Structure 1
Amino acid sequence: MGFQSAIQLAARTARCRLCQPPTSKSWFSTKSAPLGGRNILLMGPPGAGKTTVGKIVAHKLGLPVVDVDDDVLERTWKMPVAAKLAEVGGRRFLEEEGQTLCNFSASGCVISLTGSNPLHADAMEHMKQNGLVVYLDVDSNDIVERLGRMKVNRIVGQEEGVSMRDILLYRKKFYEKWLDLRVFCGTGDTVEEVVEKVLRAVERYQAHDEETYVSTRCGSAEISSRNTYFSDVVIEGLAADGGLYVPKKGFPKIPKREWLRLISMSYPERATVLLEKCIHPHDVAALDLRNMVFKAYGNNFSSERVAPVKHLVHNQYVQELFHGPTASFKDLALQLMPQLFAHCLQPMCNFLILVATSGDTGSAVLSGFSRLSGTDRRRTGVLVFFPEDGVSQIQKLQMTSFREGNARAVSVLSDFDFCQKSIKRMFGETGLTGHLAVEYGTVLSTANSINWARLLPQVVYHSSSYLDLCRDGVIKFGEPVDVCIPTGNFGNAMSALYAQQMGIPIRKVICASNHNRIVADFITTGQYDIQSRPLLLSHSPAIDILTSSNLERFIHHVSGRNSSLVKDLFSRLDMQKHFQLPEHLLGKMQQQVQAGWCSEDDCLAAIQEVHTQSGYLMDPHTAVAKVVADRLQDDSCPTVLCSTAHYGKFAPAVFKALQIQNVPQDPMEQLKELEAAASGPEPHREMMKCTRERDRRVHRVCQADYGVLVEEVESMIQDSFLKVT
């Protein structure tokens, strides 16, 4: 049924009115309202269907319905709205409309606002005091088409020479300002579908207790009486039992029409819509979330598209995830995660973020948290541990350049796995965490990919890459793609699987390993064995990992949330350094994920081959993905390679691949020479700036001793939070 037929249906539906004089300004319901007496305020542009949807929603809920135009403005003014507008003009109309609404009161009603009500701040403040604002976010093409059918060619506030699309875009910022809930309407949604979305949105708003998180190691019989919400998992990072948090109800499934509408949107707009569906508004209000997203993905990224997809060769495409301030895909999560963390902070505590990094995470965490301000920054410290000989020179320069504020990077004479195990051990020692809390009022947290707020933003860019291919005409929505991801910790791969759950037609997630091949071997054999496997340094250090933390989330998912199995397997890994996945799960896992690995020689050869063919320079991690994709893809659909870092971060390896002799020792000169050799991607401005302004002061290096790392943590807390100012 279309909107016109629905209007006729609503007209036949009796309004639940009270026997009051026509001039009464008070509306109330004697029935049990779903929001405890609060009103449901439907907001949106003219043509969004507020009146029609409001009547049907009110009928379904058994509540009074109020149309502001008919029941408030015309009753008060004793004339049609159109006549009032003609009499006083646009600006005066908005003021009188707002003042009239300020004198209106209601309780337990469904209220359809006018399209211009949100332009009057006092009126909206008044209405929000006892109302939940539900924004009918309708595609502008649908709005223009409906208004055309209704022969409406101008709306309130639309000046001469301003198009309908421009005035709708202008108004959108006011709707975004006042919304509590967004009902994201797909292209061509029927009125019945919009009504159901409104009802589900209100139901979700009430059911905060159903949108909780569980540990991958906690069975239903062990679940505590305390619900764990998004705001809790952001701060806690790691579950108390050592498991990783996952959403209890999984991911929401997004209808095709909504995906179609997202195709034309910018990256921040896509991120806002998708994250609103995954984060309950009680944890992060819609307006706050939108502000965070637009700050995270703004002019701090060198590409306007944030994570653009470009054709590489044949049926392969590359998603450039390195346009953020530290030239790594980690920026896509870590420009947003610190804002979420600060928003969810509990009062009266300091928080120390502990991070183990194999290169890119450290600088991305330091960059992200450095953008906090005021009290949030004073209450938050960041301590990064990285392997002294396990990161590139550029990565080390980036991390050690953060010297001001509560941020520090310390290198360890060991590998990434030692750093990560040490941090996980700190979280598990209640004596240590209790001492830090009592002695210093400081709580430990983490920003590694084990933190849910790190993983969730990555779902957005996997979704966005598919939408970009649709926008560019490479595929039509619904056609499959493969995604090939260089991975060691499995977080990037897991986020692609979550995007698949939300409705992105990813056919295969291909995991690409370097010669450490821990993920590739596990997915091939089901055996995870690190008993006698040394960690080998490589040209792709970000995936030089033997303990792949996010595999725990994957096994939890593929086993049907068998937390007992997960707990047993990872206990064995901790104690015996190996485990074997049950045979029936191995086949199930291989249906969702494929894997391969790449030698060092093949990695360098791929860099040279692509550069020779196209002039495009890949970093070694992207080259690992290219090699594995070439071996495993069948070329029946496009393959997207996740390009996780800019080539400049690994200049010596790229020089070796291109067989360039007499490589300059100075990092700045290395970047300039590679820039001259590449037709793409473009130079990375922030990396160039960091290298140009590098400080060669010696950074702190510590021994591979757990006790020494604990001392570093305590020293960091003392320096950060016990300073006398």
Structure 2
Amino acid sequence: MIAVQRIRIFHGLLNVAKQQNVGKCCHLLPSVTTSYRCLYKTAWLATCRPTAQPSERNIILMGQPGAGKTSVGRQLAARLGMPAIDIDDDVLEKSWLMPVAKKLSHVGGERFLEEEGQAVCNFSASRSVISLTGSNPLHSAAMQHLKQSGLVVYLDVDTDDIIQRLARMKVNRIVGQEAGTPMPDILMYRAQFYEKWLDIRVLCGAGDTIEEVTEKVLRALNRYDDSESETFVSTRSSVAGVGGSEAEPKFFSDVVVEGLAPDGGLYVPKGGFPKLGPQEWKRLAKMSYPERACAILEQCIHPTDVSPPELGQMVRRAYGSNFSSEAVAPVRHLVGSQYVLELFHGPTASFKDLALQLMPQLFAHCLPQMCNYLILVATSGDTGSAVLSGFGGLDVGARHRVGVLVFFPERGVSEIQKLQMTGIREGGNARAVSVLADFDFCQRAIKRMFGDAGVTGHLAVEYATVLSTANSINWARLLPQVVYHASAYLDLLRNGVVAFGDPVDVCIPTGNFGNAMSALYAKQMGVPIRRVICASNLNCVVADFISTGRYDLRGRELMLSHSPAIDILKSSNLERFLHHVSGGDSGLVRDLYARLEKHQHFEVSAELLHKINDEVSAGWCSEEECLATIRDVHSQTGYVMDTHTAVAKTVADRLQDQSSTPVVICSTAHYGKFAPAVLTALQRGSVPTEPLDQLQELSSPGVEPQMHGALLRGLRESRSQPHRVCQPDFQVLTEEVEAMIQDSFLNVH
């Protein structure tokens, strides 16, 4: 019924828009989509939550043998004033009239699982805390029966802790464990079933007491029931809406689909980031990158927006065999106390893959069903190919409803980056168009389209198409980047470089500030990052601002460099930083950006500049210094870095103090993407003109890191394709958007 209502409301309002002058009524569209999303949220809650009302539902504790389900269940039941039911003692033994161990010895493992499952299917309860056996989740029908009556809470305990507890309990074999199968193997096998059925994960650290785990469960239950508390606000708007009325709440699913806030600001979590404790971080140090990503992102995405099992499936698809390194984002020692975080092992050889292999899946999951969506992207190089790869990997159904249009500066990207975008086609719903302007113009034009009610209204009415973005202004694009900053620290912890709590510095080549902002968010979650160092090339507007508090674009022209991904003057995510460092002062942010728009500059107070310098420091390097760093590092270590990493290394050398604090340098792209500059830096003689020859020139035996296989294969298989080249005119770009919609969704040729 709700689904029917939301369709009727949406189409009814669009019909109103059609009957009236679009220019006069398109201001209604934000409220149209907001009303629609509220209904969408209500429909989700009605269909995906347990059928039992909260006052009658069960709390179902699930986990490995020895996870503490029974002990936690008793304490939890006492705290909630609910009966405690233990499946072993209160269901199985009463049903079988014999101890569970005796039953297992009589019938064997396979038959035991079936009879255990049938006994659970015949059991019912309400408003109880139910402690499962470790093997219950292996029986699908039993778990489906249980989930109808309550929430499944997974007590996620480290395998080593489980094995120690079972040893103390003198348990050397569990249900389903064949003779000769090591205990860790059967525990790992079981974990996939726990991941399938959970509604809530409670991450248990080593040494957590029963009381501490019980408190974690209570907090997790409160969070689940209070989705209204995990909303988002624009960096430019107050909580109150128009005329002082309460603004409609924005949830994760809303901001993923919208991308940019209606007032031109960027969405940020209203309540900030959740914080993990030291024991939880230590627990994550033992995990793989996908496991870390699941645990961290579950804390940042409410389960009523994306359930943990769905999120887990997305994460595993995002960070699998498509990455050339099993570690996904490995940390490598460089020299002294400097370490390189290699973020270039994804399918398009840049750090953008870490977000854009996951973000399209989140986007498709959150999409309402009756609209088409066109993803607009401005890129200074790497984002374009990463977007095409990420959205090209969606299932067929999603690709039919989602188009991708990339705008890039014709003379502002490397030749290899251009080939990646224009020579490798992901299908008819994806296109890259170059503009005879710089990146800032492309980005400014896209933001203007989002804010132009005439454009958005026309596209919604004529084509039932909504615009969104995959740039780092979209929250779902920025959020996954938090994971790799946390993962870098966890790798240093696991390798004994630091003990938990020891600080590290992070040095990031940045122009749009998204990568730097994600490091600050990781710090907010509890990662002991001391300083974030922002490294610029000769387009050093961000470095100048951090040093002086003045953001000044007057008379400043964008200069093309060897590190084009940071050839940016108007830094979008700096807005999120100002909101963060000012304590959420949206009025200040709004005023600063109004000044920037009108006068091309702004200046912050001395007090705010002091707070900025407490969080970040910055520097820049020349083109000559960049190439010299590539040459020197290779000479000293045999390691080849790309131009952006070299910018960060140069600035890190300049700003690193004399302490032994480790510095993590973010290597944001593989050196092969900028082969001419790297070959020049390495003094390899004349540089071949063909990109494929350039890569082969760099593919010498013994070179570290090795040539990126997917990059090399892509260029071998690609064919140079003619691509659209546009004049730097807003109307021209708008016409490209409409043509793309027609080609993608209407089959108009």
User: Could you state the TM-score of these two structures normalised by the residue count of structure 2?
Assistant: 0.91
Gaps of 5+ in 2: 1-51
> In the aligned structure 1, how far is the partner of 2:476 from the partner of 2:541?
25
Is the 8 Å Cα contact of residues 252 and 502 (structure 1) preserved in structure 2? Answer: yes
1:396 to 418, 430, 449: 418
Deviation at 1:658, TM superposition (A): 1.4
Could you tell me which residue of structure 2 aligns to residue 647 of structure 1?
Answer: 671
Q: CA deviation at 1:401?
A: 2.4
Q: What are the within-5 Å matches in structure 2 for residues 326-475 of structure 1?
A: 326-403=348-425, 404-475=427-498
AA matched with 2:306: V
Q: Which residue of 1 aligns with 2:199?
A: 180
> Any idea what the Cα deviations from partners look like across 1:391-417, whole Å, max 9, x if unmatched?
000000000024323000000000000
Q: How does 1:138-149 map to 2 (within 5 A)?
A: 138-149=157-168
Counterparts of 1:435-584 in structure 2, within 5 Å, are 435-584=458-607
Among 688, 700, 718, the alignment partner of 1:664 is 688
Partner of residue 111, structure 2: 92
Aligned partners of 2:535 and 2:651 also within 8 Å: yes
CA distance in 1, matches of 2:423, 2:390: 14
Kept after mapping to 1: 8 A contact 2:157/2:205: yes
Query: Aligned equivalents of 2:500 and 2:540: distance in 1?
Result: 34
Report the Cα distance in structure 2 between the residues aligned to 1:432 and 1:724, rounded to whole angstroms.
Answer: 20
Find out whether 1:720 has 2:744 as its counterpart.
Answer: yes
- Distance in 2 (CA, whole Å) between partners of 1:402 and 1:350 is 24
**What is the aligned-residue identity percentage?**
69
Q: Relative to 1, partners in 2 of residues 1:677 and 1:604: Cα closer, same or farther, differing over 3 Å?
A: farther
Deviation per CA, 1:275-301: give whole Å up to 9, x if none.
000000000010000000010000000
- Please state how far the C-alpha of 1:65 moved relative to its aligned partner: 1.2
Contact 1:383 1:410 in 2 (8 A): yes
Corresponding letter in the other structure for 1:711 = E
Deviation at 1:78, TM superposition (A): 1.2
1:557-706 to 2 correspondences below 5 Å: 557-636=580-659, 637-676=661-700, 679-706=703-730
1:397–1:690 Cα contact (<8 Å) kept: no
Deviation at 1:642, TM superposition (A): 0.2
Task: Give the letter aligned to residue 90 of structure 1.
Answer: G
Q: Which amino acid aligns with 1:375?
A: G
One-letter amino acid of the structure 2 residue matched with residue 174 of structure 1: F
* TM-aligned CA deviation for residue 679 of structure 1: 2.2
- In structure 1, C-alpha distance between the alignment counterparts of 2:506 and 2:419, rounded to whole Å: 31
2: CA distance between counterparts of 1:717 and 1:635? Answer: 56
Alignment of 1:303-342 (within 5 A): 303-342=325-364
3-state DSSP of counterpart to 2:152: strand
How far apart are 1:724 and its partner, in Å? 7.5
Displacement of 1:698 in angstroms is 1.6
**8 Å Cα contact 1:460/1:499 also seen in 2:** yes
Deviations 1:293-343 (A, max 9, x none): 010000000000000000111211101000000000000000000000000
Deviation per CA, 1:58-95: give whole Å up to 9, x if none: 11000111111111111111111111111111111110
Contact 1:611 1:678 in 2 (8 A): no
Q: Residue 692 of structure 2 aligns to which amino acid in structure 1? A: M
Match of 2:300 in 1: 278
Aligned partner of residue 340 in structure 1, secondary structure: helix
Instruction: Note the alpha carbon deviations across 1:147-181, whole angstroms, 9 max, x for none.
Output: 11111111111110011111111100111111110
Q: Secondary structure at the match of 1:355?
A: strand
1:21 equivalent in structure 2: none
Counterparts of 1:248 and 1:231, CA distance in 2: 15
How far 1:660 sits from its partner (Å)?
2.1
Hey, what's the Cα distance between the residues in 2 that align with 1:171 and 1:289?
A: 19
Cα distance between partner residues in 2 of 1:411 and 1:723: 23
SS at match of 1:66: strand
Query: Structure 1 residue runs of 4+, over 6 Å off?
Result: none
Which residue number in structure 2 is paired with residue 79 of structure 1?
98
Aligned-partner SS, 1:560: coil
Aligned partner of 1:705: which letter?
D
Secondary structure of the structure 1 residue equivalent to 2:449: helix
Q: 1:162 to 1:380 in 2, by over 3 A?
A: same
Letter in 1 for 2:402: T
Secondary structure of the residue that 2:579 maps to in structure 1? Answer: helix
Match of residue 60 from structure 2: 41
Contact (CA 8 Å) 1:402, 1:408: kept in 2 or not?
no
8 Å CA contact 1:317, 1:638 repeated in 2: yes
Kindly provide the amino acid, as one letter, of the partner of residue 742 in structure 2: Q
Is the 8 Å Cα contact of residues 617 and 678 (structure 1) preserved in structure 2?
no
- Aligned: 1:218 with 2:242: no
Distance across 2 between alignment mates of 1:655 and 1:78 = 78
Q: Which residue of 1 aligns with 2:44?
A: none
Specify which of 59, 69, 74 is matched with residue 88 of structure 2.
Answer: 69
- The alpha-carbon deviation at position 672 of structure 1 amounts to 1.1
**Greater alpha carbon shift after TM alignment, 560-569 vs 100-109:** 100-109
Q: For structure 1, which segment, 237-246 or 73-82, has the greater mean C-alpha deviation from structure 2 after superposition?
A: 73-82
Which residue type is aligned with residue 662 of structure 2? P
Equivalent in 210, 217, 227 of residue 198 of structure 1: 217
Q: What does 1:237-256 correspond to in 2, within 5 Å? A: 237-256=259-278
Instruction: List per-residue Cα deviations over 1:173-204 (Å, max 9, x = no partner).
Output: 11111111000101111111100011111110
Question: Pick from 226, 230, 245: which aligns with 1:207?
Answer: 226
Contact 1:237 1:445 in 2 (8 A): yes
Structure 1 residue 34 displacement after superposition: 8.7
Check conservation: 1:233, 1:451, Cα contact below 8 A. yes
1:265 and 2:287 correspond: yes
Bigger mean CA offset, 512-521 vs 468-477: 468-477
Give the aligned residue type for 1:467: L
Q: Distance in 2 between matches of 1:621 and 1:467?
A: 24
Q: 1:26 matched to which residue of 2? A: none
Shift of 1:677: 7.1
- Alpha-carbon distance in 1 for matches of 2:114, 2:80: 33
Equivalents in 1 of 2:128, 2:421: separation in Å? 55
